[in-house]
A and B are shown apart, each in its own frame.
Chain A
Amino acid sequence: MKKEQHKKKVIFNQSNIPLSSSLAHLAYGDLAFKAWREKKEQEQTSVIENEK
């Protein structure tokens, strides 16, 4: 199987990834983890900026 074909198989829909802080997002793996961490960092940044 070619790499591109392989990648196509993955249905990557941002709205499907559990972004909430829950077990489900941890079990989902890399995509959800990255998205969750980015969201968390953004939230922290905005809290810091608001405090400024």
Chain B
Amino acid sequence: MKNKLLLIGWDAADWKLIGPLLAKGLMPNLKKVINSGVYGNMSTMNPPYSPMLWSSVATGKTPDKHGVLGFIEVTPDRKAVRPVTVNSRKSRALWNIFHNQGMKSNLVGWWPSFPAEPINGVIVTDKYQKVNRDPAKKSPLKEGTIHPQSLVKDLVDLRMFPWELTKEHILPFIPKAGKIDQTNPKNRLVDFSNVMSHAVSIQNAATYLLRETEWDFMGVYYDFIDHLCHGFMKFHPPKLDGIPDDKYEIYKDVVNSAYRFQDMMLGRKLELIDENTTVIIMSDHGFESGYKRILKMPKVNAAPALDHRQFGIFVAMGPNIKKNEKLFGLNLIDIAPTILHHFNLPIGKDMDGKVMMDIFEKTTTPKYIDSWEDVQGDFGQLKKETREESWSDQEVIDQLVELGYIDKPDEKIENSIIKTESDLKQNLARVYLGKKDFHKAKELLIELIQNVVESEKTDLVDIAPYYIDLMNVSLGLNEYDEVEKYLDIFKTIKTKVSFNTYFIESNLYYNRGEVEKAAKILEQARDKKPNAEIHYRLGRIYTSQTNYELAQESYEKAIAIEPYKAKYHQGMAEAYFYLEEYEEAADYAFTSIELVKYYPEAHFILGRSLEKLGDTENAKIALDTAAKLKPKNFELLKRAQENIEEKLALPFNSNDREKYIYRKDQVVVVSGLPRSGTSLMMQMLDKGGISILSDGKRKADISNPKGYYEYEPVMSMHKDNSWLSKAKNKGIKIVAPLLQYLSYDYRYKVIFMTRDLNEVIKSQQIMKGKDPETLPVKLLNSFSQLLKTIKHWDRGQPGVEILYVNYKELLNNPIAVTKQVNDFIGIDMDNEAMASCIDLKLYRNKSNVEA
């Protein structure tokens, strides 16, 4: 029996809303699907604009490849703008591929699908349900609305008109509808009726096709939840400040009722399919329902999308789908490859998505072809001449304006064209930004700004948002001077956009190493108007400053505002880890993983905490999981895994680092504050038989009569540490503040020289020719902070072992300390030669060593 597949799109459906309704038994049909199948979060892409996203669902490609870049498009003759059509899509969709393979597809309401493509099967386009709202006007079906033409007569009368809704239809959504002032032609009932009638029309067409036609694949798309959320989410409980009591009472049930009605419609569709049909229900993004809801949308391109949340929903059931299992790591770009694989068809290598193998009970190896675009033959696509016709559609434009997705088109058509082209180009730049293709994004944004400025259209097109994007692009490229340049320009631009630059500014300073300045900017923003993200980012900064208590406070506040953000819990886990409170660290890491399973950094911190708690076996599982997820700091993780392997290989449970062994290709680093004996230790290693990586550029002088043993590239290792490969099996001197720039690729044995801070500073004062009795307090404080930082840094570095060597102790007991150093490095060295470096006469003069 053929395994058919029904794909149902619920634009903007969000588990946050669905969860409570499922618990109360108010979405029984979705519950049935979940219980018989799999479910999980569906990650969206940026920017989260629905026509782009649903085109990615259909093609498995990102918008830069499929070409649908917004809600509207410019006609090919550049004489008008119109709602986005199939003409913008440059890639073949699933139904084109199925057509080529002799399969039948039905498509209802897909955004965008007009004009209908002549596929094997039926297409009821997204123009079908968009009827005239005025009862006095007719709503003939435009040519291209339905394919094949023979179905027009059956389907045309299945469209519902907004004015047909009765109070019985409206009251379940708006029980106090009677209190709405309907003399106002723009009252909310008008919008509601419009959206509601559209959903019913789609349901009618879908149920008709489910009953009357044969098909292999069927896709049905509803904008019902999305559009009602855009209109009514601000009235959803809990009541937001700024929402009048009377309005809240009237509209507070709309959103929940929308989900319930969507579930009722699902129930009927489930009745019309057989047990061999696989069903997928998904949304393209979620929708903010908490405190982040925006009451007044800013005047920017596609502003309502600011309400979209990163995670939508995914639910599937069918003969080869796992049962009652929660899945992780799903992305909407994976839908098309997964569906192709379901039908045993090859996946295009040029597709950006992958097969979601986790959903299948029995798996087979996916097949691939280079690209479906190169395959010759009939794909049921529109002929070129048809593609270049133009359609205007005032109704749809009006609705997009009402929803706030587009501005009211300018009366001067040329202005509308310029604005639309600019918006689409900016969207493309944002797609590149989302794909981290920063160079392409930058090129586009600069071109955009130049075009607008050169054509003197800055009064028509607001260039401020382009600069905001440019700043983010430059941050991605680590071009901090550029960020500053764009920030300065942005501040001079007259714009209606109120945009907080504190995240960008703080990022800029942080990346430049001006951490205190970065913190200050966020602290000011927090004191003015706090939000969870500010608290979180402050937590990260405080962590980097090793102020873990303050970091905890910040993470706590972030979690109190948004308890379901995995990264906030992961941040807290890290703070606890550095404070050596490993049980709490593990707890927070667990919570983080419960929220987002595929979160390598959370698995990593869990593994390290469990290791510290002595639970080596579970630590291994956590670290192995983190490794599979390929985190950014993969090499760091590899070092942690090696440590665990080593511990597991021991016959007893050891949790100390007392027994040092030689590690292959280890780098021996001598570090410490300047004037703490680092040059002496380098000299000892040299004499002891270790090769030294030094360029000898800094000559011996009175302060270091036996030389400095320095290597010039060390000074710029914050920019480039690729030379570290040369230091394998050698000794190198790296001053304490630069230790943080060691690459994770190698194992390090760090001999850290310590010396009384007063002595260090005195010695430095002498070296600089200053009065040794004047104590620079600021320097003393910063040195003591640095030493504290090193201790915390060490805890986070599985590839680093540190031996602290006290300078005075070294001078007093050279033989004992030399042996300690030898054991630490793990190779046979010449102890006597090393100890002979200590010229007590020389050092006694400088440091009051007790003989």
Contacts and interface: CB of A to CB of B under 8 A. Distances in A.
A9 B211 CA distance: 9
B454 to A, nearest CB: 54
Given A1-B2, A6-B214, A29 B157 contact: no
Contacts of A22: 168-169
Given A23-B261, A34-B158, A29 B169 contact: no
B158 A27 contact: no
A23 B168 contact: yes
Interface in B795-824: none
A33 to B, nearest CB: 5
Interface residues of B, number: 29
B264 interface: yes
Contacts of A37: 157, 164
Interface residues of A, number: 20
Nearest to A9: B274
A22 B170 CA distance: 9
B200 A26 contact: yes
A43 B200 CA distance: 22
Contact of A27 (B208, B211, B261, B272): B261
Contact of B160 (A1, A31, A33): A33
Interface string A29-46: 111011001000000000
Interface in B222-272: 261, 264-265, 267-269, 272
B206 interface: yes
B172 interface: yes
Interface string B438-453: 0000000000000000
A48 interface: no
Given A28-B268, A29-B203, A29-B268, A21 B169 contact: yes
Interface in B603-640: none
Chain A to chain B: the 5 pairs with minimum beta-carbon distance, closest first: A29-B207, A27-B264, A30-B208, A21-B168, A30-B204
A24 B2 CA distance: 31
A30 B205 contact: yes
A52 interface: no
Nearest to B265: A27
A30 B207 contact: yes
A31 B267 CA distance: 15
A26 B158 contact: no
Given A1-B214, A3-B214, A33 B169 contact: no
Contact of A26 (B1, B157, B169, B208): B169
A35 to B, nearest CB: 12
Contacts of B184: none
B169 A28 contact: no
- Interface majority SS (helix, strand, loop, mixed), chain B: helix
Contacts of A24: 264
A28 B207 contact: yes
B274 A29 contact: no
Contacts of B261: 23, 26-27
B365 interface: no
Contacts of B716: none
Nearest to A24: B264
A42 to B, nearest CB: 15
Interface in B181-220: 200, 203-208, 211-214
Contact of A23 (B214, B264, B269, B274): B264
Contacts of A30: 158, 204-205, 207-208, 211
Nearest to B210: A29
A33 B158 contact: yes
Nearest to B269: A29
Given A3-B214, A27-B267, A27-B268, A20 B207 contact: no
B166 interface: yes
Given A9-B274, A10-B272, A27 B203 contact: yes
A10 B211 contact: yes
Interface string B149-164: 0000000011010001
Given A6-B214, A23-B168, A23-B169, A29 B264 contact: no
23 contacts: A1-B274, A3-B213, A6-B214, A7-B211, A10-B272, A21-B169, A23-B168, A23-B169, A23-B172, A24-B264, A26-B169, A26-B200, A27-B264, A27-B267, A29-B206, A29-B207, A29-B265, A29-B268, A30-B204, A30-B205, A30-B207, A33-B158, A34-B158
Given A23-B261, A24-B264, A26-B169, A33 B211 contact: no
B534 to A, nearest CB: 43
B536 to A, nearest CB: 42
Contacts of A23: 168-169, 172, 261, 264
Interface string A1-26: 10100110110000000001111101
A29 B208 contact: yes
Nearest to A40: B164
Contacts of B2: 1
A34 B730 CA distance: 85
B439 to A, nearest CB: 50
B6 to A, nearest CB: 14
A20 B167 CA distance: 12
A41 to B, nearest CB: 11
Given A9-B274, A27-B268, A28-B268, A33 B166 contact: no
A18 B598 CA distance: 46
A29 B204 contact: yes
Given A20-B168, A27-B264, 8 more contacts: A1-B214, A7-B211, A9-B274, A22-B168, A23-B169, A27-B203, A28-B207, A29-B206
A32 to B, nearest CB: 9
Contacts of B169: 21-23, 26
A3 B420 CA distance: 46
A3 B136 CA distance: 40
Given A21-B169, A29-B206, A34 B200 contact: no
A26 B203 contact: yes
A10 B207 CA distance: 11
Contacts of B172: 23
